[in-house]
A = this chain, B = another copy of it.
Amino acid sequence: MTYRAPINDILLALNHGAGLKAAVEAGHYGDFDADLTAAVLEEAGKFASDVLAPLNKVGDQNGVKLADGKVTTAPGWPDAYKRWTEAGWNAVSGPEAHGGQGLPLAINAACTEIWSASNVAFGLCPLLTLSAIEALDAHGSDELKQIYLGKLISGEWTGTMQLTEPQAGSDVGALRTRAERQGDGTYRIKGSKIFITYGEHDMTDNIVHFVLARLPDAPAGTKGISLFLIPKFLVNADGSLGARNDIYASGIEHKLGMHASPTCTMTMGDHGGAIGYLVGEENAGMRCMFTMMNQARLGVGLEGVGVADRAYQQALAYAQERKQGRAVGKKGDGSDPIIVHPDVKRMLLQMRALTAASRSICYATAVALDVAVRAKDAGVRADAAARGALLTPIAKAFSTDIGNEVAYLGVQVHGGMGFIEETGAAQHYRDARITAIYEGTNGIQAIDLVTRKLGANGGASVFKLIDELTDIVRRVEASNDPAFGTTGAKLRDALGSLDRASRWLLEKLPSSPNDALAGATPYLRLFGSALGGCMLANEALAARSSGEADGARHVALARFFAETFAVQAPSLEKTVTDSAESIMAADAVLVA
């Protein structure tokens, strides 16, 4: 089956869960015309359904091929990419000075979900280009921007991020690729990188690589890393393509999923070294890379949301169609679609509720990042920047955990058919798996949340957010709507657990950092469950007060989330605070 972008759900999440409407009304979005949003998303949905979704299985089944250093993508992919750039989708949030449409990140976030849902292996390519654009725009010289930025924004050329080496995965500071200064201001780079997404492909005539390397006199570790722009083909003064640069794909990986996305081993230096151009200052590459990675982390979170929604739509359609057994207590002949069974309803509701919660968290992150650069008031900008920083690891890890869980349930709803590749449910399950790993594993996101985001300012960002969320709970309770069931009580308990777990971690961080780190993953889950639950409740309140029939629907969804997921918060709190001791005893248990 195909994919249909859930425009109404997206708009509700953007405007109310994520707070876009309030931010626009407060003037934080400048002259952005919010009335455009629905039209842009409708068009994105059409492109996704018509062009990208039909290629999703084609890409999975055909994969990519490497021969003589050249990568061939799946049938139809280069053409789809051409249509993608021609329709202007690559340029949605790019700076207007270089041909972008300058739309908010929040709009682009919704688009990223839509691309990921329709074809996550395709959407991954522009996601990385977008990160490259961010880094170049923020740190590149005017000359580099002049040559490369427009082409990257239009999508005529794609971008890569090259950090990883075999001995330097999560520990970027351990990388060994070497850069040597040339007399002409350029650099020669030699070394190799692994796991480079779209490191080589046949969809564009040039690829702009962003490569981390180390100068001969660089300090050890992350303080000695510089960022270089290395084009696949050098660019002549008139903008035409020149000589082939010494950066080649020497291998591609055979992966569990994302078959259509080439994951390359890149080799530089077989022909004298790749010519590279410094981005930012020497030895300041990590800062540039973080610009790319934060953007990419939100993007990966949105991949989680997108794959989850795709899996949900497919499972829902199957459950409505597949007849098996009878509804309890029903008389007469014939069988019913499996959606009549409460256990199937539960699975579908879990899928929908988790997807909706992770969507709202990701969109809220994008709104915060927008306001952090668009608001007039410096205080508002600073607060939004802190909020965006706080939410980024949650958006990445919670949403991709959910992407995997929802895809798992999607297979389960299909029963035996789910295990058969032809059905397509298994592809989502396979594709989703990498999202919890790349751009910083979800464990690393949890550590970032506890040490850098919670710990950075004595928890101020967290406690401010809890106050805002508590206000939502108050409004749920004040509504006195019995359809909310125990939503108010469950969310209040969840926020209490979040508050106490945060204080416990803050107390442990300086004195017993390992105890705090042991609780990082359950803390992130607790955070996402409480936050997502409150956001869904906020959306339900908004839908309800709009007086439309949809109100009851969103109240029921918020209630289900609160009673099934937010309700886990007290248990997660206990795991954070109680289990550090047994984790510290792990060596004795594990290494027998």
By a beta-carbon cutoff of 8 Å, the part of chain A in contact with chain B is 8, 164, 167, 169-171, 174, 195, 253-257, 316, 320, 323-325, 328-329, 335, 339, 341-349, 352, 404, 408, 411-412, 415-416, 418-422, 426, 429-430, 433-434, 436-438, 441-443, 446-447, 483, 485-486, 490, 513-515, 517-518, 520-522, 550, 552-553, 556-557, 559-560, 563-564, 567-571, 574-575, 578-592
Known: A324-B170, A583-B560. A343 touches B517 (CB 8 A): yes
What are the residues of chain B within 8 A of A592 when measuring CB–CB? 8, 550, 553
What are the residues of chain B within 8 A of A588 when measuring CB–CB? 552-553, 556
What are the residues of chain B within 8 A of A433 when measuring CB–CB? 411, 418-419, 426, 429
The residue that A582 contacts in the complex, of B415, B426, B446, B560, with Cβ under 8 A, is: B560
- Contact yes or no, B325 A170, CB < 8 A: yes
The residue that A586 contacts in the complex, of B170, B345, B567, B574, with Cβ under 8 A, is: B345
What are the residues of chain B within 8 A of A347 when measuring CB–CB? 443
What are the residues of chain B within 8 A of A443 when measuring CB–CB? 341, 343-344, 347, 412
- Contact yes or no, B408 A349, CB < 8 A: no
Question: Considering the chains assembled together, what is the distance between the CA atoms of A349 and B436 in angstroms?
Answer: 19
- A353 CB, min distance to chain B CBs, angstroms: 9
Known: A170-B415, A443-B412, A582-B560. A345 touches B590 (CB 8 A): yes
Question: Which partner residue on chain B sits nearest A417 by CB separation?
Answer: B169
- A161 CB, min distance to chain B CBs, angstroms: 13
- Contact yes or no, A419 B434, CB < 8 A: yes
The residue that A342 contacts in the complex, of B349, B514, B569, with Cβ under 8 A, is: B514
- A347 CB, min distance to chain B CBs, angstroms: 7
- A294 CB, min distance to chain B CBs, angstroms: 19
Question: Considering the chains assembled together, what is the distance between the CA atoms of A343 and B345 in angstroms?
Answer: 34
What are the residues of chain B within 8 A of A325 when measuring CB–CB? 170-171
- Contact yes or no, A342 B590, CB < 8 A: no
- A108 CB, min distance to chain B CBs, angstroms: 25
- A553 CB, min distance to chain B CBs, angstroms: 5
- Contact yes or no, A575 B563, CB < 8 A: yes
Question: Considering the chains assembled together, what is the distance between the CA atoms of A169 and B413 in angstroms?
Answer: 13
- Contact yes or no, A335 B171, CB < 8 A: yes
- Contact yes or no, B552 A578, CB < 8 A: no
Question: Considering the chains assembled together, what is the distance between the CA atoms of A341 and B490 in angstroms?
Answer: 33
The residue that A256 contacts in the complex, of B255, B430, B446, B578, with Cβ under 8 A, is: B430
- Contact yes or no, A556 B571, CB < 8 A: no
- A348 CB, min distance to chain B CBs, angstroms: 5
- A547 CB, min distance to chain B CBs, angstroms: 16
- A559 CB, min distance to chain B CBs, angstroms: 5
- Contact yes or no, B429 A517, CB < 8 A: no
Known: A320-B591, A579-B564, A582-B559. A521 touches B346 (CB 8 A): yes
- Contact yes or no, A517 B341, CB < 8 A: yes
Question: Considering the chains assembled together, what is the distance between the CA atoms of A518 and B255 in angstroms?
Answer: 37
Known: A171-B324, A335-B171, A556-B582. A352 touches B575 (CB 8 A): no
What are the residues of chain B within 8 A of A408 when measuring CB–CB? 404
- Contact yes or no, B415 A437, CB < 8 A: yes
Question: Which partner residue on chain B sits nearest A559 by CB separation?
Answer: B582
The residue that A416 contacts in the complex, of B404, B438, B514, B522, with Cβ under 8 A, is: B438
- A58 CB, min distance to chain B CBs, angstroms: 16
- Contact yes or no, A348 B570, CB < 8 A: no
What are the residues of chain B within 8 A of A522 when measuring CB–CB? 564
- Contact yes or no, B590 A316, CB < 8 A: yes
- Contact yes or no, A256 B421, CB < 8 A: yes
Q: 17 other contacts beyond A343-B443, A563-B575, with CB at 8 A cut-off?
A: A8-B592, A169-B415, A169-B416, A170-B324, A171-B335, A256-B420, A256-B429, A339-B587, A339-B590, A343-B518, A343-B521, A346-B586, A412-B436, A485-B578, A550-B592, A556-B589, A557-B589
- A153 CB, min distance to chain B CBs, angstroms: 29
What are the residues of chain B within 8 A of A348 when measuring CB–CB? 586, 590
- Contact yes or no, B556 A585, CB < 8 A: yes
The 9 closest A-B pairs by CB, nearest first: A342-B518, A345-B586, A560-B582, A343-B443, A563-B579, A256-B426, A556-B585, A342-B517, A171-B325
- Provide a sorted-by-A list of 10 A–B residue pairs whose CB atoms are within 8 angstroms: A256-B421, A339-B590, A344-B443, A346-B518, A346-B579, A352-B590, A416-B434, A559-B581, A560-B582, A567-B575
Question: Which partner residue on chain B sits nearest A9 by CB separation?
Answer: B592
What are the residues of chain B within 8 A of A434 when measuring CB–CB? 416, 419
Question: Which partner residue on chain B sits nearest A347 by CB separation?
Answer: B443
- Contact yes or no, B422 A254, CB < 8 A: yes
Question: Considering the chains assembled together, what is the distance between the CA atoms of A433 and B522 in angstroms?
Answer: 24
Question: Which of A254, A346, A426 has most B Cβ within 10 Å?
Answer: A346
